Amino acid sequence: MKIARKLPLLVLLLAPLAPAAATPRASELSAKTGLTSFDGARIRNVSGAFVAPDAKHVAYTLSVPRAPMVDDDGGNWSELWIVAREGGEPRVYVAGKTEVANVAWLPDSSGVAFTQKRGDDKASSLWVIPAAGGEARKAVGWSAGVGAFSFASDGKRVAFLATEPDPDARKKAKEKGFAQEIYEEDAKFQRVFVATLFDENAKPRALAIESHVHQVRWNPANETLLVSTAPTPLVDDQYMAQTVKVVDAASGKELARFEHAGKLGELAWSPDGKRVAFLGGADLHDPNDARLFVGSAAGGKVLDLTAEKALDVDAFAWQSADQLMAVVSQGVQTTIEKIPADGGAWKHIVGRTALVFTSIALSEDGQHGAFVASSPDHPNELFTMSHGDTQPARRTRSNAWLDDVALAKQEAITWKARDGTELQGVLLHPLDAVQGQRYPLIVYVHGGPEAHEQNGWQTAYAKPGQVAAARGFAVFHPNYRGSTGRGVAFSELSQGDPAGKEFDDLVDAVDHLVATGLVDAKKVGVTGGSYGGYATAWCSTRFSERFAAGVMFVGISDKVSKLGTTDIPNEEFLVHARHRVWEDWNFFLDRSPIKYAGQSKTPLLILHGKDDPRVNPGQSRELYRHLKLHGGAPVRLVLYPGEGHGNRKCAAKLDYALRMHQWFEHYLQGAGGPMPAWELDYADPEAKKEG
């Protein structure tokens, strides 16, 4: 996810962002056209923001898509840019066909560090480029590659994560063909290494931490490290069994640990090194890691600063030794809050605006911040704000060409489920909507279900968004029960009831939109990935009479076999199913779309990565075969070699987008009947015109 390539046009904007755009005027539409799938394939996003400790500069990463049919296939490139905090245009520091990751400033603000495989590197190394510009220097190299890292306060040493290299005997055996995989037993552990910067003669030293390490943070005040560990490298343990510890930076000896059970997110030391903050679940059954905890560096009990609040913390940073700043989701919007570390009253810094914030970074003195945010008008961009400012200022314009694209009206709406539960979602109107006319609808169902839709940018390769709106569709993104963004209680409403009230909410949303006069009840489509793919399969079988077309992505069709083939069985049990399949086989079969395949009359396009470890591609094959044999409606299965739980490479993403829009146009706007041709033209028609 993440044309000869050109450097993006970036213009400094110091004024606060305007509110979300209303429906374009007719005079504007005459000069602008809507977004296309090919436009979507070239959208750039700011993916991370990092303030220098001295606050003079802000570094950010820019995710740049490869050009399909031009560049070699692969994921997005990631470039490093820097902008002066007080003004001036952004400057690119590392560009081209590159993948910059794990960005951080040196403690003295003299340079920016990042990991990258470049030159003769056989694996990613740690590089540092001066803040003033110039050539990057390799700071640490390691045969197994350098992963996430954290600097000691002296700026001379670094703790980093890396997987264990294969023993020589194992390497030789592989070379002779003994490359067998021992399922879930031969996974490599990730360890903590400590190294001296710019010392080629000093070999990184491994710390004696037996567990698999996911995060490491060097205490700014002493020789200790904050780490999160899991018993094994398995994804299930990463989700459900991480522990937060303080260890000695010299030996790795455990000095303290924190009382916490459940999912775990980001960790951070307070500036004085006396406290620890982290994001996590409220308990073992909380599906999200959105509670903000603070504890003493001595370990033990932690204080939940978000207890009983119907909101989620998405990101945070320490502002001082006793204050934190956080990005908070409240329904479909976000705010920025100041939160006392002792549990005192919160203070609004930025209220609900047209912006949806996704990250926060602060300077050493806590007076200057950088944020990544989107809006209905633009994808993620860089924003900055200083003490005394009333609103963040937009600093980048990574897709200036969007100024010449007509965007449809987008708004947040609420509706009531049949049992009275109030629900929220985001609606995109058809671009040229005429009052009193009804339009086809695409319901986009998010995955998880521990996720939620926000009133920001809503277009991606698998999200119809503005592309579908430009083609005359309404697009709705429902936050059905079990979604996040409204606190723990709401996110647990669907547990133990898969495909129950949670998917009834989708039908109730459609009924609401039909009642408004916008939607044609006979032309409703549904799509989504993962749990959203499960919803699509359910709506296309169990609720087939309500949906005229479906596009299912990496979705679930058989709850019994899914539970036996996923890489997160314990996460599935603890925060979703709440009982094991062998306790009630019939219940899980009743909640499986394959059971209702015989009543399906919904044309269904099924797409899946062939290497998906989360939802085995057999889930898609099962549903395809049942629907094909039944013959009640057209069905097509598309498999993507080399892709997992979601498409990463540019070719697979464009192919997906083109097929999705083709399917919905054929069955919701066109004549329907037999399936459209499976062959696609991957050439941008606008590019043909220009040629």
Whether 59 and 105 have beta carbons less than 8 Å apart is answered as yes
Q: pLDDT grade, residue 688 (50/70/90)?
A: low
Helix (H, G, I), strand (E, B) or coil at 157: strand
What average pLDDT does the structure give for the chain?
93
Long-range CB contact pairs, 333-337, < 8 A, 24+: 333/412, 333/454, 333/455, 334/454, 336/360, 336/371
3-state SS, one letter per residue, for 543-566? CHHHCCEEEEECCCCCHHHHHHHC
pLDDT at 13: 25
Q: pLDDT tens digits, residue range 270-286?
A: 999 999 999 999 999 99
Task: Tell me the pTM.
Answer: 0.93
Higher pLDDT, 236 or 691: 236
For the segment(s) 406-690, the CATH number from 3.30.420.140, 3.40.50.1820, 1.10.760.10, 3.30.420.40 is: 3.40.50.1820
DSSP 536: H
Q: What are phi and psi of 305, to 5 degrees?
A: -75, -10
pLDDT of residue 11: 26
The closest alpha carbon to 305, from 294, 320, 289, 290, belongs to 294
532-591 pLDDT, tens per residue? 999 999 999 999 999 999 999 999 999 999 999 999 999 999 999 999 999 999 999 999
- Does 691 have pLDDT greater than 60? no
Residue 171 banded pLDDT, cuts 50, 70, 90: confident
What does the pLDDT average to over 190-205? 94
- Above 80 in pLDDT, residue 24? no
Q: Tell me: the pLDDT tens digits for 579-590?
A: 999 999 999 999
Contacts of 204 (CB under 8 A, 6+ apart): 140, 142, 160, 162, 193, 194, 195
587 Cβ neighbours under 8 A, 6+ residues apart: none
pLDDT digits (tens, 9 = 90+) for 310-369: 999 999 999 999 999 999 999 999 999 999 999 999 999 999 889 999 999 999 999 999
DSSP at 575:
I
Select from 553, 502, 490, 500 the least CA-distant residue to 526: 553
pLDDT, tens digit, 9 for 90 and up, residues 494-504: 999 999 999 99
3 state DSSP class of 329: strand
pLDDT at 75: 96
Banded pLDDT at 87 (limits 50, 70, 90): confident
The string of pLDDT tens digits covering residues 364-413 is 999 999 999 999 999 999 999 999 999 999 999 999 999 999 999 999 99
pLDDT in tens, 653-668: 999 999 999 999 999 9
Q: How confident is the model at residue 31 (pLDDT cuts 50, 70, 90)?
A: low
CA-closest candidate to residue 285, choices 588, 482, 576, 582: 576
In this prediction, residue 26 has a pLDDT band, given cuts at 50, 70 and 90, of very low
Q: Which residue has the tokens 């609004």?
A: 348
Model pLDDT, residue 6:
32
